[in-house]
A and B are shown apart, each in its own frame.
Chain A
């Protein structure tokens, strides 16, 4: 079920009413409702893939119980590996099987051997990368004794399948989300109103920014060989706002929806395009994934401790793995590696923690230096997004080559639109974000008047893209 669909517009009020008016006196019943609603929400795509979630839930639940009882180191490790193998096994099979087979065959062909391809027609279950990482974090935390394992199977099932963040995050930590299922939820007016505002803000980013940008970005990337440098640059800009609006919009709707049910999820985006260096960008972009990799991969590998070599190695590993997490394609690996190349000079000069506060907190405009740094960081991410969006590496390099032909002509696209038409909407987004950059999200205060929120809803109704509904990009990851 998509957040931007009529189905969800009907589903959400029904679940909300049942949650607060029917099951509100019994915590277990409320959790059962969440599990049921989450399974309906997920099964709306394909009920068969529910089996994966159920299986992952059962295995990790019993692994947790086992870890709490077991003191033998070897047996504890065996239990942890069971969880890791099952979860990464699902992920590996559904997401990466064909990629590895294809590359294996290509490698053998390169050395003169012929192998018959044995790829499978595998459909990627929606959101598999998100819920497998979430359940993995539970097993690892219990193994490390950072978390008491739960004995409440319903609460654990609700934690794994919680519908607002099931298919595209934020990837929650068991330490934050799981305890919220144990305690009685009391309806909070302020938090619910914030939830509505955050949902509206998320819908604005998705329907007005991302889906409109998508039309232009898709057209330009699909026919890049026919367009001028200026249009190709705009194509990359549109994609950068498409992916930002799409993914951060989803996160806002997810966090806002959770607030309606009395839950607080972690923040996933913090105005990443106002970052002054690439390290700051990665502290502000997809925070739940970056911190997941930091805690469960980077630090266990040794982090920034150790010598220069291990620092460089760990950084490259985390960025490449993070790229590969996004998809089984060399384009994502190069995207990750490119970000590592951007990041390493900062790390090696110990400058990766220079910009940790909000930019120009007490001024209307940034200083010239800050503005230049923001622009440079944005251009670096823009170049990397070309790899992220391209179908393959050849397309990415040809697209870049097209940009460097220096033909600055703004032209009409084949979709009968001028290539610059969407820019005013992007400027509205940037203006709203810039003027509210100290807040968690632009309407995150009780004082916001009805008029501002209604104005935003009006923009969604008037400028939202409803003719060509785009699914959320991150569903495929």
Chain B
């Protein structure tokens, strides 16, 4: 449960359940979709010790999360996806992208009347680059933001050592988190064992 709370905010869970409860009578199909998306998300969180998944799968999960947030926040949340199909087979640590997206929504959109979140996934030679930018810098971001980033950094190091890195750019017109990791289409057994140790 501690691992679960570190990944997904209880606030998000209860607001999402509230959204599902809100629409269940007048739009049961929508309520069903919210609950199924939530279910996918929590299954992934609970299965995290499996370690690595294809990026395509991680993107599906991030999109399930994004769908729930879009329903909750309506037009306040403007999402922009730029995904290079050539990256989808690359193996990445599970729940790499979703927490970055959650941070962007939490600090860049929720406290504001509206906001933009841009997700870019591209291949650059033997590397995969993931970037999540939100339009407003989280100047007043509580410590949770840093914890999520530290957690991702730690898991990247466990799987890829110094080959992967996470950079934060707070300057300019927004808050940008950029992750670079090697393009690999095989699950790294060493990485998975390392993740198991980290969970113990």
Physical interaction between A and B: no
**Chain B residues in the interface with A (C-beta under 8 A):** none
